[in-house]
Amino acid sequence: MLTAAIGMGGTVPGEHGVGLLERGGMRQELDAGVLAMQVAIKQTLDPLDLFRPGKVIG
């Protein structure tokens, strides 16, 4: 369903964080540089992964 949504110009829902099912969609939707930037920000602000662990691609 995520692939179909992205194919029609939609986006991956992330209002409650990106879980295991949405991770593949995020990789399809966003540029690798954008994902790397998001991971870097998350690691900088939360190096121990205490806030919403496992909810960010990494």
pTM here? 0.60
pLDDT in tens, the chain (58 residues): 777 888 888 877 666 655 666 666 777 777 788 888 988 998 899 999 898 787 666 4
| pLDDT score at 38 | 84
CB 57 within 8 A of CB 41: no
| pLDDT score at 47 | 93
| CA distances from residue 12 to 4, 22, 34, 43 in whole angstroms, order as listed | 10, 7, 14, 22
CA atoms within 13 A on the CB side of 56: 20
